């Protein structure tokens, strides 16, 4: 177990390093960042001076090393727009994003699990319609389209819910989390259904039924637990999708979170914030994957590599 | 001669009856493509110019609407119908170009990985690292790195986001083909590796990739619309459905038509595309 953990940590560190390279290159891919950062009408002397001041005339490796050591010290650069360290800007926004993601995950489970379980157990018209509805809303309609249409209906026409911002507590949270939940729900339903269906046909379930156990107890104790592993994998994978989906959802709903901050930062050419956002997202996703992998080993004693 | 034509007609009708949904979707897509290709010759208003006097006219069938603007106008007085048609050009053009690019890149990597062990390790590692990243974040980073919103950048970003699937599929095909008797025979006849690649492997690989492409293209359209909506895709001076929705959102309390019509366009075209792509890839699997 310890060896497994150690190996996973090494992989995570390597992936994080990869993320830092990506973040670094955000600034340097087009060659000279000076052109990206200065207004177009800057004079050549000003550009030279800027270049020297920011150290852009040094070899790339040196600049990267500087960048990396800065990161390790917690220095993610200085946000031009907010006049604060970029890390602070980003960390301020994280709670809002986390709030929305948690609400979305809860909703996603509330929607997906009953549909999946019921559709495997019974073949009922309502369950089928629910399944089709969720799949259609989640996959056929792009997220931001759904979001805007919801705003049109519930904010503009009906005046029930606020169109943007997170200042009205639960009311503000409803639409964004529904949209975000629908991003991931279809996949979870599909996966849960497949794994439930496959477990249901296994021998030991038949034994339980032969022993006289009720369907409900069977579903819960035997079937559901075994379907847990792929379920957790998918949940872990969905975190990545949810984080990506939160970028669009936050922008549509004016939700002051991490995703919106990054999009605005690009608009404002505030690259340190973009870099900090990328690194934080990468770190977050990789931590989740790590936890998922560890949970695997805990849940299924057979998995120990 | 007449018998032959009658037979074709009957077969088509039978096909349509058995695959109603697919046929409808296919016809819709073909219509959309035709309209967008012929846009210049259609009697449409200028999609890029409008007077503020006409600003926010409702669709013509509603009160306050003008016949000149069947679907209404946006804030700058531009005709929504023609913007949607020209937007179709943008979206379809970008989606197809980036699909071709992604396909080319993916096929290349797939073939190389299938043949050369060491390169295989390298490319698959890169693919793994890339897949661990949420794709939107990567897209954002790439757009920032490339200097902002522009049509070229969108195409690049989409292609970079999409090469992996092609590479994986092609690679597994190459790996299995490599061991096949045909290739062994060709080699023993003295064929050089390059000849094997071009004449034997490439044709097989292309048909799988094309099947994959029909599924990928609608995805690319959604992504492009999303990026344009965020302001990171097609610049606002070129009509695009995502951009129209972005502009429309500002006026959401005043006018619904600048939003709903592009939304309907995106949803319907993507939906039809997914249906067509799904059918094609399933048919293809059966043949395999």
Query: Residue A288 above 60 pLDDT?
Result: yes
Residues of B with CB under 8 A from a CB of A: 129, 132-138, 140-141, 143-148, 222, 225-226, 229-232, 242, 245, 248-249, 252-253, 256, 259-260, 263, 266-267, 270-271, 274
* B101 alpha carbon, distance to own chain's centre: 11
ipTM of predicted assembly, 2 dp: 0.82
Q: What confidence category does residue B140 fall into, taking pLDDT thresholds of 50, 70 and 90?
A: confident
Query: Which of A210, A294, A216, A197 shows the shortest CA–CA distance to A2?
Result: A294
Closest listed residue to residue A24, CA positions, set A240, A265, A243, A279:
A279
pTM, full prediction: 0.83
Cβ burial B92-123 (10 Å sphere, 16+ → b, else e): bebbbbbbebbbebbbebbbbbbbeeeebeeb
Indicate whether B213 pLDDT > 70. Answer: yes
Could B135 and A243 be called an inter-chain contact, meaning their C-beta atoms sit closer than 8 Å?
no
pLDDT of residue B157: 92
Alpha-helical segments (H) within chain A: 2-28, 33-37, 44-54, 60-72, 86-121, 125-135, 143-151, 170-200, 203-210, 215-217, 225-226, 228-253, 258-267, 271-299
B112 has pLDDT over 60 = yes
Read off the pLDDT of residues A207-262 as tens digits, 9 standing for 90 and up: 666 676 666 666 666 666 666 766 777 777 788 888 888 888 998 998 998 888 88
Could you tell me which of B214, B119, B116 has the C-alpha nearest to residue B165? B214
Which chain B residue's Cα is nearest to A159? B253
Q: List pLDDT tens digits, range B22-31.
A: 888 899 999 9
Question: Mean pLDDT throughout B221-229?
Answer: 91
Q: What pLDDT, in 10s, does the model give residues A84-129?
A: 888 888 888 899 999 999 999 889 888 888 888 788 777 778 888 8
Whether the pLDDT of residue A305 is over 60: the answer is: no
CA distance A270 to chain B (A): 10
Position B89 scores a pLDDT of 92
The pLDDT assigned to B30 comes to 93
Sign of CA pseudo-dihedral B231, B149, A244, B91: positive
SS3 category, A142: coil
Contact of A170 with A176, CB cutoff 8 Å: no
For residues B259 and A198, which has the higher predicted lDDT (pLDDT)?
B259
> In b/e form, how buried is each residue of A29-41, taking b as 16+ CB within 10 angstroms?
beeebbebbeeee
Check CB contact under 8 Å for A142 and B148: no
* B141 contacts A278? CB cut-off 8 A: yes
Give the pLDDT band (50/70/90) at residue B43.
confident
- Are B137 and A266 a contacting pair at CB < 8 A? no
Q: What is the pLDDT of residue B1?
A: 54
Tell me the pLDDT tens digit for each residue of A17-75.
Answer: 888 887 888 777 766 677 667 777 777 787 788 777 777 777 878 888 888 888 888 88
For residues B50-78, give the mean pLDDT: 81
How far apart, in whole angstroms, are the C-alpha atoms of residue A305 and residue B19? 48
Q: Which residue has the higher pLDDT, B271 or A165?
A: B271
| Neighboring chain A residues of B233 at a CB cutoff of 8 Å | none
Joined together, the tokens standing for residue B184 give 């062994």
Predicted pLDDT at B197: 64
Band of residue A196 on the pLDDT scale cut at 50, 70, 90: confident
In this prediction, residues B107-122 reach a mean pLDDT of: 84
Determine, for residues B141 and A22 on separate chains, whether the beta-carbon distance falls below 8 Å: yes
């Amino acid at each position: 177990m310890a060896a497994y953990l150690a190996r996973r940590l090494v992989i995570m560190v390597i992936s994080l390093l990869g993320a830092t390279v990506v973040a670094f290159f955000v600034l340097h891919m087009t060659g000279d960042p000076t052109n990206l950062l200065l207004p177009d009408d800057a004079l050549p002397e000003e550009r030279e001076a800027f270049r020297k001041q920011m150290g852009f005339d040094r070899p790339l490796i040196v600049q990267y090393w500087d960048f990396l050591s800065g990161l390790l010290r917690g220095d993610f650069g200085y946000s031009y727009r907010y006049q604060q360290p970029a890390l602070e800007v980003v960390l301020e926004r994280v709670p809002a994003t986390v709030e929305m993601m948690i609400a979305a995950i809860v909703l996603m489970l509330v929607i997906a699990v009953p549909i999946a379980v019921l559709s495997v157990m019974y073949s009922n018209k309502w369950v089928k319609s629910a399944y089709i509805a969720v799949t259609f809303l989640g996959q056929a309609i792009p997220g931001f389209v759904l979001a805007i249409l919801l705003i049109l209906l519930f904010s503009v026409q009906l005046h029930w819910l606020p169109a943007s911002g997170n200042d009205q507590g639960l009311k503000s949270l409803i639409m964004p989390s529904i949209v975000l939940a629908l991003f991931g729900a279809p996949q979870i339903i599909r996966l849960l259904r497949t794994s439930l269906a496959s477990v249901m046909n296994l021998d030991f379930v038949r034994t339980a039924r032969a022993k006289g156990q009720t369907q409900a107890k069977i579903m819960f104790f035997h079937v559901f637990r075994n379907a847990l592993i792929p379920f957790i994998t998918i949940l872990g994978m969905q975190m990545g999708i949810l984080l990506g989906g939160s970028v669009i959802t936050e922008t549509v709903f004016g939700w002051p979170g991490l995703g919106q901050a990054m999009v605005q930062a690009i608009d404002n050419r505030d690259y340190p914030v973009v870099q900090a956002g990328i690194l934080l997202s990468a770190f977050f996703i990789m931590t989740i994957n790590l936890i998922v992998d560890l949970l695997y080993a805990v849940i299924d004693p057979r998995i120990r590599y | 001669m007449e018998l032959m034509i009658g037979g074709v007609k009957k077969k088509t009708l039978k096909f349509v009856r058995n695959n109603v949904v697919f046929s409808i979707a296919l016809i819709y897509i073909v219509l959309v493509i035709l309209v967008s290709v012929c846009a210049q010759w259609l009697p449409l208003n200028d999609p890029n110019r409008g007077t503020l006097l006409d600003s926010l006219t409702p669709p013509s069938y509603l009160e306050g609407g003008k016949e000149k603007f069947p679907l209404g106008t946006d804030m700058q007085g531009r005709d929504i119908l023609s913007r949607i048609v020209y937007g179709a050009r943008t979206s379809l053009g970008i989606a197809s170009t980036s699909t071709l690019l992604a396909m080319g890149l993916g096929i290349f990597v797939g073939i190389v990985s299938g043949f050369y062990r060491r390169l295989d390790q390298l490319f698959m590692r890169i693919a793994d690292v890339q897949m661990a990243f949420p794709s939107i974040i990567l897209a954002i980073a790439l757009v920032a790195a490339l200097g902002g919103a522009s049509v070229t950048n969108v195409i690049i970003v989409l292609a970079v986001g999409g090469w992996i699937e092609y590479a994986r599929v092609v690679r597994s095909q190459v790996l299995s083909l490599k061991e096949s008797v045909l290739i062994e025979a060709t080699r023993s006849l003295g064929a050089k590796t390059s000849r094997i690649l071009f004449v034997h492997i490439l044709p097989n690989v292309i048909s799988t990739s094309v099947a994959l492409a029909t599924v990928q293209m609608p995805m690319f359209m959604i992504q492009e619309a999303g990026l344009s909506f965020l302001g990171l895709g097609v610049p606002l001076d070129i009509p695009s459905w995502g951009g129209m929705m972005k502009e429309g959102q500002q006026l959401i309390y005043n006018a619904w038509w600048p939003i709903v019509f592009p939304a309907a366009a995106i949803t319907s075209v993507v939906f039809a595309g997914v249906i067509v792509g799904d059918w094609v890839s399933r048919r293809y699997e059966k043949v395999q």
